[in-house]
Chain A
Amino acid sequence: MTAADNGAASAPLSAAQPCVRIEGVTKRFGEFTAVDDVSLDIQEGEIFCLLGGSGCGKTTLLRMLAGFEQPSAGRILIDGQDMAGIAPYERPVNMMFQSYALFPHMTVQANVAFGLEQEKLPKDQIAQRVEAMLSLVRLDGMAQRKPHQLSGGQRQRVALARALVKRPRLLLLDEPLGALDRKLREHTQFELLGLQKQLGVTFVVVTHDQEEAMTLANRIGVMDRGRIVQVGSPRDIYEYPSTRFVADFIGSVNLFEGRLTEDEADYVRVACPELPAPVLVDHGVSAAPDATVWVAIRPEKIQLLRERPEVADNIAQGTVRDVAYMGDMSIYLVVLPVGRELRVTRANLQRKEEEIFESGDAVWLAWDAASPVVGTG
Chain B
Amino acid sequence: MIHARRSILVPSIMAFGFAFLYVPILAMIGYSFNNSRLVTVWDSANSPTLKWYSALWRNQQVLDAAWLSFRIALLNATGAAILGTLAGLVLARFGRFRGRTLLTALTTAPLVMPEVITGLSLLLLFVAMEQAIGWPASRGVTTLTIAHITFSLSYVAVIVQSRLAGFDLSLEEAAMDLGARPVTVFLRITLPLIAPAIVSGWLLAFTLSWDDLVISQFVAGPGSSTLPMVIFSKVRLGVTPDINALATLMVLTVAVGVVIATVLLRRQERRRERDLRLAAGAD
Shortest CB distance B111–A (Å): 30
Interface size in chain A (residues, C-beta < 8 A): 33
| A104 adjacent to B174 (CB under 8 Å) | no
| A89 adjacent to B180 (CB under 8 Å) | yes
Stretch at the interface among B9-17, B79-87, B221-229, B272-280: B272-280
Known: A148-B274, A152-B281, A152-B283. A99 touches B179 (CB 8 A): no
Contacts of A87 in B (CB 8 A): 176
Contacts of B176 in A (CB 8 A): 68, 87-89
| B274 adjacent to A103 (CB under 8 Å) | no
Q: How far is the CA of A103 from the CA of B178 in the complex (A)?
A: 12
Contacts of B189 in A (CB 8 A): 103
Most B CB within 10 A of own CB, among A66, A88, A93? A88
A-B contact count (CB 8 A): 75
Is A73's CB within 8 Å of the partner chain B?
no
Contacts of B173 in A (CB 8 A): 66, 68, 88, 95, 97, 101
Contacts of A114 in B (CB 8 A): 175, 178, 180, 188
Contacts of B193 in A (CB 8 A): 104-105
Q: How far is the CA of A166 from the CA of B179 in the complex (A)?
A: 9
Main secondary structure of the interface of B (DSSP, over half): helix
Nearest A-chain residue to B169, judged by Cβ: A101
Nearest A-chain residue to B283, judged by Cβ: A152
Q: How far is the CA of A163 from the CA of B193 in the complex (A)?
A: 21
Mark out the residues of chain A between 191 and 232 whose CB falls within 8 Å of any chain B CB in the assembled complex: none
Is A179's CB within 8 Å of the partner chain B?
yes
Is A287's CB within 8 Å of the partner chain B?
no
Shortest CB distance A107–B (Å): 13
Contacts of A119 in B (CB 8 A): 179
Contacts of A94 in B (CB 8 A): 177-178
| B174 adjacent to A101 (CB under 8 Å) | yes
Is B184's CB within 8 Å of the partner chain A?
yes
Nearest A-chain residue to B279, judged by Cβ: A99
Shortest CB distance B266–A (Å): 17
Nearest A-chain residue to B170, judged by Cβ: A101
Q: How far is the CA of A329 from the CA of B149 in the complex (A)?
A: 72
Residue among A98, A104, A162, A178 making CB contact with B178, cutoff 8 Å: A162
Q: How far is the CA of A118 from the CA of B184 in the complex (A)?
A: 9
Is A169's CB within 8 Å of the partner chain B?
no
Nearest A-chain residue to B192, judged by Cβ: A105
Nearest B-chain residue to A115, judged by Cβ: B178
| A155 adjacent to B278 (CB under 8 Å) | yes
Shortest CB distance B26–A (Å): 41
Chain A proximity mask over B176-214: 1 for CB below 8 Å, otherwise 0: 111111001000110011000000000000000000000
Nearest B-chain residue to A95, judged by Cβ: B177
Shortest CB distance B278–A (Å): 6
Contacts of A66 in B (CB 8 A): 173, 177
Shortest CB distance B196–A (Å): 10
Chain B proximity mask over A290-331: 1 for CB below 8 Å, otherwise 0: 000000000000000000000000000000000000000000
Residue among A118, A148, A155 making CB contact with B179, cutoff 8 Å: A118
Contacts of B175 in A (CB 8 A): 103, 114
Contacts of A101 in B (CB 8 A): 168, 170-171, 173-174
Is A4's CB within 8 Å of the partner chain B?
no
Contacts of B177 in A (CB 8 A): 66-67, 88-89, 93-95, 163
Is B100's CB within 8 Å of the partner chain A?
no
Shortest CB distance B164–A (Å): 15
| A103 adjacent to B171 (CB under 8 Å) | yes
Known: A88-B176, A118-B184. A147 touches B278 (CB 8 A): yes
| B275 adjacent to A148 (CB under 8 Å) | yes
Is B271's CB within 8 Å of the partner chain A?
yes
Most A CB within 10 A of own CB, among B177, B278, B283? B177
| B170 adjacent to A99 (CB under 8 Å) | yes
Closest 10 CB pairs of A and B: A115-B178, A118-B179, A179-B281, A101-B174, A101-B170, A99-B279, A88-B176, A97-B170, A89-B179, A95-B177
B residues adjacent to A (C-beta < 8 A): 168, 170-171, 173-181, 184, 188-189, 192-193, 271, 274-275, 278-281, 283
Q: A66-B177, A89-B181, A94-B178 are in contact. List 18 more A-B contacts (CB 8 A).
A: A66-B173, A67-B177, A68-B173, A87-B176, A90-B179, A97-B170, A99-B170, A99-B279, A101-B174, A104-B193, A104-B275, A105-B193, A114-B180, A114-B188, A115-B178, A115-B179, A147-B278, A180-B281
